Structure 1
Amino acid sequence: MPPPSPGPRRVLVTGGASGLGAALAAQYAGRGDDVLVTDLAAHADVPAGARYQRLDVTSETDWTAALERVRDECGGLDVLVNNAGVAAGGRIDLLDTAHWRRVLDVNVLGAVHGCRTFVPLFKEQGAGHLVNVASVAGLVHPPAMTSYSAGKAAVVALSESLRAELAPHGIDVSVVCPSFFRTNLAASLRGEDPLVEQVATRLITRAPLGADEVAARVVSAVDARRFLVLPDRAGRLAAWTKRLARPLYDRHMSAAGRRIHRAGQHPTRDTAEETA
């Protein structure tokens, strides 16, 4: 199917006050799309021409309010970007039930609420595009990232199922699976496992791509109606290694698990460097 014809579109971005969400909002607003930016804060700076609304993705009431605003002010919606999420990492014996509830409530049910809220509108319109931001951790599953990987894998599965379910209604679905890129996502880490969180922070801050570069690639892929969006080389390499060279993938993951174990048993001054 060819890409849609150019022209202003109505776009809602969750988690749009910072990081990848802000970069995506800027990409869409910069080309003249009608963008509603949402986030947890009562107020936030948004790109010129965009609007803002507070939205807690775990609140059905907030989602209903966003739908009402979209209907009243925009007359509909073309692209819903379920981007809001929290970073998480840690060895499973250090993660309590509250940690799992927080991660799954935001990273999984946040996307589910968005889809449930706007799919009826998309069906009425006979068109629409769901963009669910997952992670390469939804496709490959490193050690000491159980809650994050499980949540992002659920978002990939949700997207794949919806792709087949909604295609007869003219609704497109994309799932975005980046690897580490430079953003403020590490700020949502809670300190449950300092060793693993130090590693994640190091990988985020040293990543070769920034949020703006990833956002530009995501918008281009969504324009092309691509389902699986792997915007960076590291993510593509990891996903294809698991699929085509499984023994190599398994050896790599086992080695990573052993490095984390050694670092936990014999902490060094730079455990992030040792385990990354």
Structure 2
Amino acid sequence: MQIKRVFITGGASGLGYALAQEAAARGWKVCIGDRDTERGEAVLESLQRLQSDAFFMPCDVTRISDLEAVAKELQSRWSGVDIVVNNAGVAQVGPITETSISDWQWIIDINLLGVVRGCKVFTPIMQEQGQGYFLNVASLAGLLDMPNASSYNATKAAVVSLSETLHNELKPNNIGVTVLCPSFFKTNLAQGMRSSVPDMDKKVDKWMASSKLNAADVAKMAWQAVDAGKLHALPHREGRTAWYMKRFLPRSLYQAIVHKKAQSRTK
């Protein structure tokens, strides 16, 4: 198996770290970027036990200069990069009437523009190499439309659209794209979540804990989708079912199902 050179944003915890572990277990070279320097340095040793070339770089995806610094370092160490995982993200929950413009700006800057910056910085490198791959982490929320999550849904839907666009745009450059759209699974997303809904962090933790898949499962399925060159990767079976229902059922029937599901989750 060819050794890949992989860079992962938000790679110090949660899904990003699980993706890094799985990549390192495959024998691939891994660089994790994260704004949590302490956490990044703490987990590095475990990655290096799997792949000695693994390293960490401080990286805040809201600063394009950070991503440019990573790109420069990867060029110096590895002479390029094969796969860039735009994983860093945050959550915001609340009705449209209670979601401030500053919260919209915050989540757009990280969830959408963070992915845009990653693609913009690394596409020229991949074009010069004649090959490359983007794994963009969105969410099932980017394909569905659960109430009281307009800002989160919108940013993840934009990541889906961006990924689909680049899948077409970059094909002549031999650059592939997969957009990962998981449902709830145990991760640390709720830790930095902003919400105007009381006890939402506890509710999210409960939904995540009930998932049949954990971060390691999702990471393995994500890399399998990359191996297969799939554009859309939906790890959760119930997520795939919900997406099909949205696409093929009459809107009124789909909407009734969504509201029934939303009401059951508030209990």
Aligned residues: 257
- 1:201 Cα deviation after fit: 2.8
Write out aligned runs for 1:119-134 (5 A): 119-134=123-138
Distance in 2 between residues matched to 1:36 and 1:90, nearest whole Å: 35
Structure 1 residue 100 corresponds to structure 2 residue 76 = no
For 2:37, what is the secondary structure of its paired residue?
A: coil
For 2:22, what is the secondary structure of its paired residue?
A: helix
- 1:197 Cα deviation after fit: 4.3
- 1:194 Cα deviation after fit: 2.0
For 1:65, what is the secondary structure of its paired residue?
A: helix
Percent of aligned positions with the same letter in both sequences?
A: 41
Distance in 2 between residues matched to 1:241 and 1:196, nearest whole Å: 26
- The answer for the alignment partner of 1:268 in structure 2 is none
- 1:28 Cα deviation after fit: 0.3
- The answer for the alignment partner of 2:21 in structure 1 is 26
For 2:194, what is the secondary structure of its paired residue?
A: coil
- 1:192 Cα deviation after fit: 2.7
Letter of the aligned partner of 1:189 in structure 2? M
1:60 is matched with which residue: 58, 64, 80? 64
26-35 or 242-251: bigger deviation: 242-251
- The unaligned stretches of length 5 or more in structure 2 are none
For 1:174, what is the secondary structure of its paired residue?
A: strand
Letter of the aligned partner of 1:228 in structure 2? H
What are the Cα deviations for residues 46-100 of structure 1, in whole angstroms up to 9, with x where unaligned?
2123110000001011011001001000101100000000122111122111111
C-alpha RMSD over aligned residues: 1.5
Letter of the aligned partner of 1:105 in structure 2? D
- The unaligned stretches of length 5 or more in structure 1 are 1-5, 260-272
| Contact kept in structure 1, 2:93 and 2:195, CA below 8 Å | no
TM-score, normalised relative to structure 2: 0.92
Distance in 2 between residues matched to 1:161 and 1:40, nearest whole Å: 28
- 1:198 Cα deviation after fit: 4.0
Structure 1 residue 173 corresponds to structure 2 residue 164 = no
Q: 1:114 to 1:274 in 2, by over 3 A?
A: closer
What are the Cα deviations for residues 110-146 of structure 1, in whole angstroms up to 9, with x where unaligned?
0000000000001101100011000010000100010
Distance in 2 between residues matched to 1:274 and 1:130, nearest whole Å: 34
Q: 1:274 to 1:29 in 2, by over 3 A?
A: closer
